[in-house]
């Protein structure tokens, strides 16, 4: 166990790293040449415009020479906090605004609790002397002295902890309630004030049954004309254009190479660039690069046109899926919430995601497959979470040097050198694990895609769930119980249910100092590393150098990315878990968590305002998930405390803890009934109000025209744009 001094050293190191990152950030972002990396959002919104590439007239277009600006290197924080929330919603969307509220919620929950904890719990703990008197506790530090560990077994002081647990739960629930209410209200206001959008009028219909006499398109039309006679407007069938999308994607890649070659030629007109024909341009016959790529593009364009023809003409390329639009929002709301057909697995309706949120690839999956896919992926995720360490160890064992030596004898002289050998042996196994962890979100996202969800927002949310479970098991439990996940699983399985809280209650208090260090490394430095944006910076400059020809290319090169809810939610929820679990046991952890929440709030607010460009807008549909996870953390905390109290032999007070989970679950059920529908359904009252308003303000709106091509596969749009460009 670390002493206070150890922690101090760790804190010093991490704070230094954080400051280093911040200074680096401040320096880099002040250079005009990096402006598009650190302020892409403004370029996308068209509020900033940079010079084109050839425009290298003066040094101060590249480097900022105003030394005064460097002095106030933390100024961006004030900047970031300045924009009011309403403006933020308009600027970056509701998703981003509500995302930032999560950090704020962390502050709202833990700040008062920290003050209370230090005012009440710390004095109670520190004036007892269990750790001094007992010989059983071999090592004890100053941190343990101010934690619950210092209270004597069976002490009456535990009543204070008990009542504080109630206060803590009550306060957390209260804040959660307020927040849920606020977010639900924000969502309604947002949906109400939104502009007319195609998804408000449209329903995604899946599982359209085949009809022997009619094409799918006609079948859809007839079905909805019959069953929604007053509201049905039009529909758009979905083509299986996955192959076409692949061709187009390939053409884009070739286009990049062509651009690169042309740029190279333009800079050095004496030599025509060449490349080899084979794999990745590494092998094969050498040809003129510009000619070669141009020919390739011609070929691919032809292929795309042929494929497009085929898709649009072939009845079999039409999937049993359609986007059905209605005359009024009311009709769409009705259709999305009702069952259409006697067979509940046919004519499935749900709200259409907004067009840019659609994940087209998965629309082709048959419904029966979905259950199987879900089951398989659940099994796979379970295996991944509990047994991931096994293949990693296997790869590590493959990557040992003796094996490599045997297979590649020519490497032997190099490997046998002492320095290199020890370096590799220390480095390779770690690399395998690092690589795995780095690609984990990608793997999880692929799993979610295989599961068959049809919109990006949903994909990010379900990936977040998977990642969260992974973190809880492999970061939290693995640290607490020390052992690979599947060993813990085995232990829990062979343990009586009544024993589990006790195991947790014994183990968790011991790990407080470890988690404090974890917060500093992962939380503090991590955030600073995030806003530094080193990777995007390098990629941008590389692209800018080799590929950018037009202003549009440069915009593409910025690739600001989105906040990445699939990875940030699990992280912030892990901090909520740590905060709730340790709030009573070791309140000393709270300041570190609060600094994390505060710093993250400011940093990500800056990012949201200046960098991120969200791919979609779900209207904060993720909030129930956040809320439910925090509730789950609360219940976990209560179970742990049951174990801690029974370890402390507090027979009087322990039974009073049992009321807590019951109350918490009651609160959870209430919140679910009260607020959750706001995030999944669209009330008819709202739909009618918007319809009425629409009718009054735009009496002669041609809604059919407005919806005409809204739900066209983007690949067709690209093709159309290209064709327009050709003529």
The DSSP secondary-structure symbol of 508 reads: G
Q: Does 342 bind a second copy (CB under 8 A)?
A: yes
Q: How far is CA 98 from CA 17, 89, 95, 124, 186, in A?
A: 29, 9, 5, 38, 9
How near is the Cβ of 314 to a second copy at its closest, in Å? 29
Residue 244 corresponds to which tokens in the numbers above? 């076409």
How near is the Cβ of 692 to a second copy at its closest, in Å? 8
Q: Which residues pair with 699 in a beta bridge?
A: none
Contact flags string 352-371 toward a second copy, x per CB under 8 A:
-------------------x
Phi, psi of 188, rounded to the nearest 5 degrees? -65, -45
Distance of alpha carbon 149 from alpha carbon 585, whole angstroms: 8
Q: Choose, by CB under 8 A, the member of 277, 649, 674, 698 that binds a second copy.
A: 674
- Which one of 64-72, 455-463, 543-551, 673-681 is the stretch in contact with a second copy (CB under 8 A)? 673-681
Q: Which of 360, 255, 248, 249 has its CA nearest to residue 304? A: 248
> Which one, 134 or 227, has the nearer CB to a second copy?
227
Distance of alpha carbon 17 from alpha carbon 122, whole angstroms: 30
Contact flags string 560-599 toward a second copy, x per CB under 8 A:
----------------------------------------
Q: Choose, by CB under 8 A, the member of 203, 258, 333, 584 that binds a second copy.
A: 333
> Which one, 372 or 437, has the nearer CB to a second copy?
372
How near is the Cβ of 382 to a second copy at its closest, in Å? 11
Q: Which of 31, 182, 18 has its CA nearest to residue 105? A: 182
Q: Does 341 bind a second copy (CB under 8 A)?
A: yes
Q: Does 682 bind a second copy (CB under 8 A)?
A: yes
Q: Does 339 bind a second copy (CB under 8 A)?
A: yes
Q: Does 494 bind a second copy (CB under 8 A)?
A: yes
> Which one, 426 or 683, has the nearer CB to a second copy?
683
How near is the Cβ of 312 to a second copy at its closest, in Å? 30
Contact flags string 370-409 toward a second copy, x per CB under 8 A:
-xx--x---x------------------------------
Q: Does 646 bind a second copy (CB under 8 A)?
A: no
Contact between residue 323 and residue 224 where contact means Cβ atoms under 8 Å apart: no
Residue 21 corresponds to which tokens in the numbers above? 């990152």
Q: Choose, by CB under 8 A, the member of 51, 154, 344, 391 that binds a second copy.
A: 344
Q: Does 65 bind a second copy (CB under 8 A)?
A: no
Residue 357 corresponds to which tokens in the numbers above? 């949120």
Q: Which of residues 212-231 bind a second copy (CB under 8 A)?
A: 223, 226-228, 230
Q: How many CB atoms sit inside 10 A of residue 268's CB?
A: 10
Per the listing, tokens 């400051």 go with 19
> Which one, 230 or 402, has the nearer CB to a second copy?
230
Q: Does 434 bind a second copy (CB under 8 A)?
A: no
Contact between residue 185 and residue 97 where contact means Cβ atoms under 8 Å apart: no
How near is the Cβ of 629 to a second copy at its closest, in Å? 21
How near is the Cβ of 499 to a second copy at its closest, in Å? 8
Q: Which of 727, 715, 663 has its CA nearest to residue 305? A: 715
Residues 6+ apart with CB under 8 A from 574: 468, 471, 472, 475, 476
Distance of alpha carbon 411 from alpha carbon 708, whole angstroms: 63
How near is the Cβ of 87 to a second copy at its closest, in Å? 24
> Which one, 164 or 324, has the nearer CB to a second copy?
324
Distance of alpha carbon 323 from alpha carbon 465, whole angstroms: 28
347, 352, 355, 356: CA torsion to nearest 10: -110
> Which one, 333 or 532, has the nearer CB to a second copy?
333
Residues 6+ apart with CB under 8 A from 500: 492, 639, 643
Q: Choose, by CB under 8 A, the member of 60, 314, 685, 723 that binds a second copy.
A: 685
If DSSP codes are grouped into helix, strand and coil, which group holds residue 676? Answer: coil
> Which one, 208 or 516, has the nearer CB to a second copy?
208
Q: Does 659 bind a second copy (CB under 8 A)?
A: no
> Which one, 82 or 674, has the nearer CB to a second copy?
674
Give, for 320, the enclosing helix (H) or strand (E).
Answer: strand 318-326
Q: Which of 334, 368, 365, 375 has its CA nearest to residue 351? A: 334
Distance of alpha carbon 366 from alpha carbon 378, whole angstroms: 19
How near is the Cβ of 109 to a second copy at its closest, in Å? 24
Q: Does 209 bind a second copy (CB under 8 A)?
A: no
Q: Are strands 232-239 and 318-326 parallel, antiparallel or unpaired?
A: antiparallel
How near is the Cβ of 689 to a second copy at its closest, in Å? 9
- Which one of 255-263, 342-350, 466-474, 542-550 is the stretch in contact with a second copy (CB under 8 A)? 342-350
Residues in the interface with a second copy (CB under 8 A) total 47
Q: How many Cα atoms within 13 Å fall on the side-chain side of residue 586?
A: 26
Q: Does 641 bind a second copy (CB under 8 A)?
A: no
Distance of alpha carbon 126 from alpha carbon 148, whole angstroms: 9
Q: Choose, by CB under 8 A, the member of 386, 588, 612, 675 that binds a second copy.
A: 675
Q: Does 647 bind a second copy (CB under 8 A)?
A: no
Per the listing, tokens 């609060």 go with 594
Task: Kindly tell me the burial class for residue 159, based on how many C-beta atoms sit within 10 Å of its own C-beta (0-12, 13-18, 19 or more).
Answer: middle
Distance of alpha carbon 19 from alpha carbon 624, whole angstroms: 35
Contact between residue 138 and residue 116 where contact means Cβ atoms under 8 Å apart: no
Q: Does 345 bind a second copy (CB under 8 A)?
A: yes
Q: Does 453 bind a second copy (CB under 8 A)?
A: no
Q: How many CB atoms sit inside 10 A of residue 691's CB?
A: 18
Contact between residue 204 and residue 357 where contact means Cβ atoms under 8 Å apart: no
- Which one of 58-66, 167-175, 243-251, 343-351 is the stretch in contact with a second copy (CB under 8 A)? 343-351
- The rounded Cα 627 to chain-centroid distance in angstroms is 16
How near is the Cβ of 204 to a second copy at its closest, in Å? 17
Contact flags string 163-192 toward a second copy, x per CB under 8 A:
-------------------------x----
Q: Choose, by CB under 8 A, the member of 278, 430, 655, 677 that binds a second copy.
A: 677
How near is the Cβ of 688 to a second copy at its closest, in Å? 5
- Which one of 39-47, 501-509, 524-532, 670-678 is the stretch in contact with a second copy (CB under 8 A)? 670-678
Instruction: Kindly list the residues in this chain that would bind a second copy in the complex (CB under 8 A).
Output: 188, 223, 226-228, 230, 333-334, 337-345, 347, 371-372, 375, 379, 492-499, 662, 666, 669-670, 673-678, 681-686, 688
């Amino acid at each position: 166990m670390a002493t206070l001094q150890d922690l101090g050293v760790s804190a010093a190191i991490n704070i230094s790293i954080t400051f280093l990152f911040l200074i680096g950030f401040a320096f880099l972002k002040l250079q005009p040449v990096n402006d598009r990396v650190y302020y892409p959002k403004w370029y996308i919104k068209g509020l900033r415009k940079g010079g084109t590439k050839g425009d290298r007239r003066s040094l101060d277009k590249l480097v900022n020479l105003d030394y005064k600006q460097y002095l106030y290197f933390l100024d961006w924080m004030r900047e970031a906090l300045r924009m009011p929330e309403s403006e933020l919603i308009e600027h970056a969307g509701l998703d981003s605004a509500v995302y930032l509220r999560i950090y704020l919620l962390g502050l709202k929950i833990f700040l008062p609790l920290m003050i209370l904890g230090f005012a009440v719990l710390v004095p109670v703990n520190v004036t007892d002397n269990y750790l001094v008197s007992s010989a059983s506790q071999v090592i004890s530090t100053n941190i343990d002295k101010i934690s619950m560990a210092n209270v004597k077994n069976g002490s009456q002081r535990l009543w204070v902890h008990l009542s504080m647990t109630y206060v803590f739960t009550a306060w957390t629930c209260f804040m959660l309630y307020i927040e849920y209410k606020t977010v639900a209200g924000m969502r309604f206001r947002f949906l109400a004030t939104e502009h007319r959008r195609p998804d408000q009028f449209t329903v995604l219909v899946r599982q359209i049954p085949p009809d022997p006499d009619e094409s799918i398109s006609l079948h859809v039309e007839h079905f909805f004309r019959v069953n929604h006679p007053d509201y049905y407007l039009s529909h758009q069938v979905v083509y299986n254009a996955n192959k076409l999308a692949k061709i187009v994607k390939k053409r884009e890649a070739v286009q990049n190479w062509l651009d690169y070659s042309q740029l190279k030629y333009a800079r050095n007109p004496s030599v025509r660039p060449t490349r080899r024909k084979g794999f990745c341009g590494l092998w094969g016959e050498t040809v003129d690069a510009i000619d070669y790529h141009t020919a390739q593009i011609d070929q691919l364009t032809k292929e795309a046109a042929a494929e497009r023809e085929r898709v649009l003409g072939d009845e079999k390329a039409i999937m049993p899926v359609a986007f059905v639009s209605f005359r009024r929002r009311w009709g769409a709301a009705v259709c999305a919430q009702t069952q259409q057909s006697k067979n509940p697995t046919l004519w499935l309706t749900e709200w259409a995601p907004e067009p840019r949120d659609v994940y087209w690839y998965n629309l082709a999956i048959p419904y029966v497959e979905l259950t199987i896919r879900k089951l398989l992926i659940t099994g796979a995720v379970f295996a991944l979470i509990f047994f991931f360490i096994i293949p990693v160890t296997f790869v590590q064992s493959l990557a040992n040097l003796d094996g490599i030596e045997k297979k590649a004898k020519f490497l032997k002289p190099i490997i046998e050198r002492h320095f290199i050998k020890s370096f590799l042996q220390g480095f390779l196994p770690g690399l395998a694990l690092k690589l795995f962890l780095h690609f984990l979100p990608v793997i999880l996202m692929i799993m979610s895609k295989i599961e068959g969800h049809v919109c990006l927002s949903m994909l990010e949310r379900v990936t977040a769930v998977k990642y969260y479970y992974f973190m809880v098991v492999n970061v939290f439990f693995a640290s607490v119980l020390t052992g690979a996940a599947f060993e813990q699983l085995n232990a829990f399985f062979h343990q009586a249910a009544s024993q589990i809280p006790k195991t947790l209650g014994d183990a968790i208090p011991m790990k407080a100092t470890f988690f404090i260090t974890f917060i500093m490394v992962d939380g503090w430095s991590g955030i600073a590393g995030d806003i530094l944006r080193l990777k995007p910076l390098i990629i941008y400059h590389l692209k800018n150098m080799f590929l950018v020809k037009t202003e549009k290319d440069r915009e593409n090169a910025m690739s600001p990315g989105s906040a990445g809810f699939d990875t940030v939610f699990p992280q912030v929820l892990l901090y909520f878990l740590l905060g709730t679990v340790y709030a009573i046991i070791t309140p000393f952890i709270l300041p570190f968590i609060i600094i994390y929440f505060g710093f993250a709030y400011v940093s990500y607010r800056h990012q949201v305002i200046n960098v991120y460009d969200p791919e979609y807008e779900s209207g904060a549909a993720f909030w129930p998930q956040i809320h439910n996870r925090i509730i789950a953390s609360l219940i976990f905390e209560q179970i742990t405390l049951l174990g801690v109290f029974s370890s402390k032999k507090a027979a009087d007070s322990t039974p009073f803890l049992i009321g807590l989970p019951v109350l918490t679950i009651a609160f959870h059920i209430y919140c679910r009934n009260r607020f959750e529908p706001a995030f999944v359904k669209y009330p008819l009252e709202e739909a009618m109000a918007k319809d009425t308003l629409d009718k009054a303000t735009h009496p002669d709106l041609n809604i059919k025209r407005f919806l005409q091509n809204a739900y066209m596969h983007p690949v067709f749009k690209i093709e159309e744009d290209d064709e327009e460009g050709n003529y």
